[in-house]
Structure 1
Amino acid sequence: MTPPLFTLDAVLAATGAKAANVSASEINSISIDSRELGPDALFVAIKGDRFDGHDFVDTALANGAVAALVSRGEGEGRIVVEDALGGLRDLAIAARQRSRAFVVGVTGSVGKTTTKEALRLVFEAAGETHASIRSFNNHWGVPLMLARLPETAQFGVFEMGMSAPDEIRPLSQLVRPHVAVITTIAPAHLENLGSLENIARAKAEIFDGVEPGGTVVLNGDHAQINILLDAAAAAGIANVVTYGFARGVDWQITAAETAADRSFATIVHGDEQHALALGVSGRHMLSNATAALAVAHVAGIEPGVALRALAGFGAQPGRGQRLALGPAEKPLLLIDESYNANTASMGAALDVFGTIAAPDGRKIVILGDMLELGAAADSLHASLADAVRSSGAERVHLVGSHMAALAEALPPGLVASHSPSVAEALDGVMADLAYGDAIMVKGSNGVGLSRIVSEIKSRFSQS
């Protein structure tokens, strides 16, 4: 019989709270969204940047939550603590303390979510696995995901993000990973961190939570690798594993080939060679999958098990997912990269787009601003010009103030439009698309290009 996620008594013991008029004896799911409640749900009323969960407690209870963890208010079903987010952290700590799972933490400037998903696939092939959903990787997302860790899980994978120093350290100390992965260092959050070296140091905070005797797994294909190696040594971590295309790494990607929707490589590890095949295109995808292969080895999973699992690895929504919309004989091909962007991921996505042919029309890219790049923003946007030209794009739609720099760097005939916002771009962009075209949409999530993706899906899904 599967044990509950928490008994009510365990919730009270972990949080130091008292429950009044709570009839449920078990909690089997935890949510901070009154619209998304699992079975026997505990609703946690955290206060966010835009919403206060306390405003939705009654709604959550009406929608089926069996209790609500709150820091104010009285009434049936409420468990009152001093701070609701602090209570959620207490539950996360309790879940981690009782767990016997092999736990992995993932961070990096690019590829966090994709690597986490690759690890989830591999671990699920070996045993019961719990992994972060979507990009729940911040000060509330990590404790929420950790609090949901079932006592029976054999593997746990948690993504950790940051936009400033001293944000990853407390997350890692909460998760206490047996393995910490840093996917790469690239220009992201330069506005707050100032340099790639500072980004590397901030990512290296993940080492501070690694369990004694644990391992760090590092991508060796960036200039800041020595900063990470030094930081691992300073944290007292002796077990360091490297991967990537660079010579001398422990898991080296060789003989890489990418096609429109597949990638292949030979992975060399010591005297062994492994054939890696993915159902998604891109050298960066090969890198993310190789990280998962290296972690699987540390976890004691046979390479064959990991490789078979990775054969089913595909792109996630907003991160390279491909959709053929409309009539089979002449579809519109949509590549959705709308969730995030920095110079590294932009270059990787445009490189993949260069391998794609339009079904029966033009190749069009819709690019939005890369946010939080600080004083270097305009020059970094302009630096994308060569990658855009090499992608084979025939028309380019640009959205955001910093994209003006890219517009100036591209041939005038290539730029179909440049708009300050999605709202101002939408009608013109949609009027330019037709069945048979291949469209790639990419930009930082805050730009809102997902609205364009949704409109494309809505308008072109019907043949």
Structure 2
Amino acid sequence: MTLWTADEIAAATGGSATTDFAVDGVAFDSREVGERDLFVALTGEQTDGHRFLDQAFAQGASGAIVSQPATHPAVRVDDTFAALENLARAARARVAGKVIGVTGSVGKTSTKEALFAALSRAPGIRAHRSVKSYNNHTGVPLSLARMPADTDLAVLEMGMNHPGELAHLTTLVRPHVALVTAIAPAHTEFFPDESAIADAKGEIFQGLEPGGTAIIPFDSPHRDRLIAAAKPYAGRIVTFGMNREADVNAADAMTVRGGGSFVSARVGGRQLSFTIAQPGRHWVSNALAVLAVADAVGADLALAGLALGELGGLPGRGARVTVRVGDGDAVVIDESYNANPASMRATLAVLAQESGRHLAVLGEMRELGDGSAAFHAGLADDVIAARVEAAVLVGQAMRPLAEALEGRLDFVHVPDATQALDRLRARVRPGDVVLVKGSNGVGLSRLVSGLANGMS
């Protein structure tokens, strides 16, 4: 089915079409353009998408949104970013299905993927989701613009690092269900304290459709603050968590062979037992959030439980990569996409449960502001508890952790991912389990790729 015609794009954006065309997808990164895509030529401080029009059409684009004269099929507008947002609004307006918005300090993308797997499992359901981590001021409208008109269920991730961002994004998404996964220290460079982070995350509820459902982590110290933020906008508030008083809670959770969990959950007056493939206590919380959302949209809870049992790790977010080392293998836990103090502790706890010798490559956590040194040094006990025998610490901000580990652990402190790979190669042995985690800007995904491509 055609996603957009030139006339529909022009009507949505207030632009004028130079010729007739139809598209099946939308992209603003010319490197991601595929056959029959619409290329949105965004302009910014660093580059101008109009410079890449020829490349986009060479890769198969059928049309473009432009603000300058173009020789290719296009819709001409005054402002291409405003046009992308208007196209997103038009996409949302034509969808009659349920829309779910997901935010939180940790677990957004993983929970979004788990939700998509759970909700799309039912026969005949046409589900849509944000891809990758397209959750910011450009990623959210792009994800909406890509949403087919006949979508039954959509799961859209929303992120922020400043107050007011979610208040705007949620008006584009207009969710029927809005989920906050957790509140934790993240982007603290831009917030005075965690309460301010909770307030910013609570902005997601402002866009709820009338009668919509707000889903809130019961175990969070900011629970009541989030509930207060939701009350003016939500028709229903649902809590999830390990505590028995949560609306959706874990009556029992135990670790099973392979590191996952077997969970008996209560959802309202019902009980559901299922297995979570992903290891870690944080995944039990993610799973309860998934069940709360599934229940809110009337999805099949049994199918949701089956999906959680089959969910694999995502690249950069828990995927396990087997690498050849000498005459044996080592396992790399790829958590290279992002890091904050809460997610660092959660993944170190997962490492603690692994058999074999434990190594860790830990990249600096960014955007932590004045508390950065304390947050980094505060990981020392978690590293020791994870039974790490050797560590590679990456980035200048890791110095406080290096000082806290002095004399307690075999480690090296290096400035970048390239040197980290060299130091790790000298240490890793067959049978090792290597945790790789850090903020995305550190570039530890390259280290994972380097390991996967060979240890020589």
What is the TM-score when the length of structure 1 is the normalising length?
Answer: 0.94
Separation in structure 2 between the aligned mates of residue 313 and residue 113 of structure 1, nearest angstrom: 13
Read off the aligned partner of 1:141 and give its amino acid letter: G
Contact 2:418–2:447 (8 Å) recurs in 1: no
Q: Spell out the pairing of 1:30-49 with structure 2 (5 A cutoff).
A: 30-48=26-44
Q: How big is the shift at 1:261?
A: 3.3
For residue 361 of structure 2, what is the aligned residue in structure 1?
366
- Equivalent pairs, count: 453
1:44-83 superposed Cα distances (whole Å, 9 cap, x missing partner): 0113454321111111112211111111233232321111
For residue 75 of structure 1, what is the aligned residue in structure 2?
71
Separation in structure 1 between the aligned mates of residue 180 and residue 285 of structure 2, nearest angstrom: 12
Q: Spell out the pairing of 1:59-208 with structure 2 (5 A cutoff).
A: 59-126=55-122, 127-208=125-206
1:230-266 superposed Cα distances (whole Å, 9 cap, x missing partner): 1111x33230000011231101123222244321111
Contact 1:278–1:314 (8 Å) recurs in 2: no
The correspondence for 1:213, drawn from 202, 211, 214, is 211
Separation in structure 2 between the aligned mates of residue 104 and residue 363 of structure 1, nearest angstrom: 38
For residue 297 of structure 2, what is the aligned residue in structure 1?
299
Read off the aligned partner of 2:171 and give its amino acid letter: Q
1:156-197 superposed Cα distances (whole Å, 9 cap, x missing partner): 010000011011111110000000000000000110012100
Separation in structure 2 between the aligned mates of residue 341 and residue 155 of structure 1, nearest angstrom: 29
Separation in structure 1 between the aligned mates of residue 182 and residue 54 of structure 2, nearest angstrom: 43
Separation in structure 1 between the aligned mates of residue 325 and residue 376 of structure 2, nearest angstrom: 36
**Aligned-pair identity (%):** 44
Contact 2:208–2:233 (8 Å) recurs in 1: no
Separation in structure 2 between the aligned mates of residue 15 and residue 188 of structure 1, nearest angstrom: 35
Give 4+ residue runs of structure 1 displaced > 4 Å after superposition: none
Q: Establish whether residue 53 from structure 1 lines up as the match of residue 53 from structure 2.
A: no
Q: Establish whether residue 412 from structure 1 lines up as the match of residue 407 from structure 2.
A: yes
Q: Establish whether residue 257 from structure 1 lines up as the match of residue 275 from structure 2.
A: no
Separation in structure 1 between the aligned mates of residue 412 and residue 133 of structure 2, nearest angstrom: 31
Gaps of 5+ in 1: none
Separation in structure 1 between the aligned mates of residue 283 and residue 38 of structure 2, nearest angstrom: 37
1:197-242 superposed Cα distances (whole Å, 9 cap, x missing partner): 0000000110111100000111112111111011111x33230000
For residue 239 of structure 1, what is the aligned residue in structure 2?
236
Matched position secondary structure for 1:446: helix
Separation in structure 1 between the aligned mates of residue 421 and residue 326 of structure 2, nearest angstrom: 26
Matched position secondary structure for 1:326: strand
Read off the aligned partner of 1:303 and give its amino acid letter: L
Matched position secondary structure for 2:186: coil
The correspondence for 2:428, drawn from 433, 438, 444, is 433
The correspondence for 2:449, drawn from 420, 434, 454, is 454
The correspondence for 2:319, drawn from 310, 318, 321, is 321
Separation in structure 1 between the aligned mates of residue 295 and residue 189 of structure 2, nearest angstrom: 37
Read off the aligned partner of 1:198 and give its amino acid letter: A
Read off the aligned partner of 2:61 and give its amino acid letter: A
Separation in structure 2 between the aligned mates of residue 238 and residue 79 of structure 1, nearest angstrom: 40
Contact 2:171–2:207 (8 Å) recurs in 1: yes
The correspondence for 1:341, drawn from 339, 342, 352, is 339
Contact 2:205–2:230 (8 Å) recurs in 1: yes
Change (3 A) 1:299 1:141: same
Read off the aligned partner of 1:396 and give its amino acid letter: A
Contact 1:108–1:203 (8 Å) recurs in 2: yes
Contact 2:325–2:429 (8 Å) recurs in 1: no
Change (3 A) 1:254 1:406: farther
What is the TM-score when the length of structure 2 is the normalising length?
Answer: 0.96
Matched position secondary structure for 1:370: coil
Separation in structure 1 between the aligned mates of residue 322 and residue 252 of structure 2, nearest angstrom: 30
Change (3 A) 1:39 1:382: same
Separation in structure 2 between the aligned mates of residue 49 and residue 355 of structure 1, nearest angstrom: 46
Q: How big is the shift at 1:37?
A: 2.3
For residue 382 of structure 2, what is the aligned residue in structure 1?
387
Read off the aligned partner of 1:239 and give its amino acid letter: R
Read off the aligned partner of 2:200 and give its amino acid letter: A
For residue 226 of structure 1, what is the aligned residue in structure 2?
224
Separation in structure 1 between the aligned mates of residue 261 and residue 325 of structure 2, nearest angstrom: 27
Separation in structure 2 between the aligned mates of residue 261 and residue 370 of structure 1, nearest angstrom: 26
Separation in structure 2 between the aligned mates of residue 196 and residue 281 of structure 1, nearest angstrom: 27
Read off the aligned partner of 1:290 and give its amino acid letter: L
Gaps of 5+ in 2: none
Contact 1:407–1:415 (8 Å) recurs in 2: no
Separation in structure 2 between the aligned mates of residue 273 and residue 397 of structure 1, nearest angstrom: 44
1:314-333 superposed Cα distances (whole Å, 9 cap, x missing partner): 22110111122227983110
Separation in structure 2 between the aligned mates of residue 232 and residue 60 of structure 1, nearest angstrom: 42
Read off the aligned partner of 2:54 and give its amino acid letter: D
Q: How big is the shift at 1:425?
A: 3.0
